[in-house]
Structure 1
Amino acid sequence: MGVPAGRDVAVVTPWYPTRQVPFGGAFVQAMVEATASAWDRATVYHVDGWGARVPVPQDEAIMRSLPGLLTRGVRHSGTVAGAGLCYLPVPVRVGVSFAQSARRHSDALRTALGGRPIDASVVHAHVGLRGGWTALENARPDARVFVTEHATFLPSVLAEPDSRAMYDEVIRRATGVFAVGEAVRSVLVEAFPHHADRITFMPNPIAFGEPRQRPVTALRRWLYVGTLSERKGVGLLLEAFARCRAEDPELSLTFVGEGRLRAALTSRAQELGLAEAVTFVGSVLPDRALELMREHDLLIHPSRLETFGMTVVEAVAAGMPVLVTRCGGPEETLAGIEDAAGGLIDVTDDPDTIVAGYRRLRDRFPDGVDLPHARAVLTSRYGYEAVARAHSRVWFPETDTDGAVPAATAPLAATNPME
């Protein structure tokens, strides 16, 4: 790859906030906003897969019509920090492999670009295939192409032979491949040991605004933020809450998010006699989620698997303690400040694990928690300024003059050949 002459960046992503799904891909939007100081011009290419269960003949007819449809479906607008935004709908038949879907994304972007390459010296893609492959197939020959992987469904991608082969090629061709944490990197290294030295780290950025005005004084208003699914452990959380509320009737629990378990959780709350103590507010915009964090006392995140755990860091940023499972990402993001931020518990199928964790945290709160310290440490690791420096060093190394390891990647520098 050649050395870029300018500081133009393109971001290729299958997820980004839309009017229909305003909270989708918020972490990609945060990355664009966080890195504004690192680029002179940026354009986001949102290749949005529109899944449909259609017969093969109908799908083939759609694909024949796609070039003409794209001339009407592509929308150009603006997004955060003055970046441009190109929205591109991509029809994808449900049932195709991840590799087949990636080829459709790539072909659609090529059509929308009129066969011309992306006009940027750096292209940064999100997820390996729909983002990474699409970026590599449409980047300029002299462009640096980077890929960040953060998908929890990565094992499903690599279980498909054609998708696994495509991912291997993505790693080989990309300038750099990043994982947001060891939970992701370990999966990639196991699948592609010959690329181990090419798979490094890049954290998600977190906005650290003003924390709550009044500090938490008691851990009575519980909060959960995320999808209402089995993987997130929300059923166990409700059962644990019922047991804890039997000891303290002043406890309340708020679920923020949607998912297929909402009806079951609502019904179970009624069975447990908790209808007045448990609130379901549905999906909300990121700003409202942060407001709710400032209004509650404790974030409980009993997920089975997280590649990073942005919600956990956001909660500490908002000034609230956390009780979170050791599910991959959180034990990395909170490394060294576990007790200061709240507490970690094991992933189990027993709600009493959550109950015991809550009791331990409650009994040492507030003296055993140091949220200002935890917040300061996390700011140095994942704040916008730290993440902007980390991206700038790899995007435009010829312009880097301080020679310092970015705070966001310093703990991982030993395994990052780009440091």
Structure 2
Amino acid sequence: MRILVTAAVMSLSAAYPGLASERSSEPYHVKQATSDKVPNSPELLLASAVSHSIRPAARPIKKAMPLKPERVALSNARFENWVRAFRVRAGEQGISTRTLDRAFHGLSYDPEVIKRDRNQAEFSKPIWAYLDSAVSQTRIRNGQAALVDHSAVLEQIERRYGVEREVLLAIWGLESSFGTYRGADNVIRSLSTLAFDSRRGRFFEGQLIAALSILDAGDVTPNAMTGSWAGAMGHTQFMPTSYLDYAVDFTGDGKRDIWSDDPTDALASTAAYLSRFGWTSGQPWGVEVRLPDGFDYALAQREITKDSADWAELGVLRVDGNQVADHGLASVLLPAGSKGAAFLIYENFSVLEKYNAADAYVIGVGHLADRIRGEPGFLTDWPRDDRSLNFPERKELQRRLTEQGFDTQGIDGRVGPNTIRAVRAFQVANGFVPDGYPSLALLENLR
């Protein structure tokens, strides 16, 4: 089980594979901002987590202090030297001289990208605040309008890939507000700057090579290859390597065009992506349930799966009191601990995690898809009087747990499976409800 606690450490959805000591599950792992406005605004920031997809994540950051002019000038000079050396490496990997000339003509270092990458304020945002915005009435209405406007092509995509149209619309809505904010940064400039001057240059150089390969193939021109400041592109914000692996030409015009106003290729590419990772048509992402009095919260772990009949025998029912339909094996997820909503989640939940590893993002996509389909909102409220632990508090929690013999396997502020296990062990040892939820009350008890 992964607990959605804060907005602090966000996933690149494996953009930086293997760098996170734990697979974090904070609600702001998401690539999109949670309002219906400007997802790719200057207030977005990258971090890292482990997943199978390669897409950046975003969260609010403090207003960055401007870089000093002398540093920018020095960086420009060093950047030009780096570009010359990089062109040799790119050529050795098969990128044509013509593409390199076009892509790097007049290209300069972008200090704004580095400010965004380095100024990582540790904000906290609980899942209910995230969902209030991610599944807002405005986004629901826009999604339902898009369902009508694009009905023909969505039907064709759904028929070919077996991914429900509402799910595709929910991803589109969260990633770019239905194409309204796809990002206007020059992707080659952003990736070049990050490859040259970021903390994770090797990753971004790989993305830059992939972006140049896309240009080599003729799917888009350098000027039209725009996206977020971190290189995510198009209506559904594919990173270049994901584009190469999963994008499709659904319109049949010879190009896999995820950048133009027509969202067809982008929506089909997203469906192809989910299909490749095992999407099961007709299976929900999850179902809201109510837990019985005396429920054994040790069962609320992703590793423990049962069918609906077995869960019903334990008293786990739909919130309306009926047995959950048989959608396959499911596990119990408590995104806000024992005081908030509970869900039975299915394999399609895991498939959506391939697109973005954050539980909050997956719940946001799944719930928005349900609402676009006309289903009601969640019936269980959240513990809205609580607040999430901030980054220093999460590190303190890990330190105190480890000091008391409940090893979190690292003190990095990321709340993932190792920390959840340690929290649960502490709760069991001290007679608390073992829901694995790292609350402020639990930290105060540790203190």
The normalised TM-score by structure 2 is: 0.22
Larger fraction in strand: 1
* Higher RCO, Cα 8 Å, sep 6+: 2
State the TM-score, normalizing by the size of structure 1: 0.23
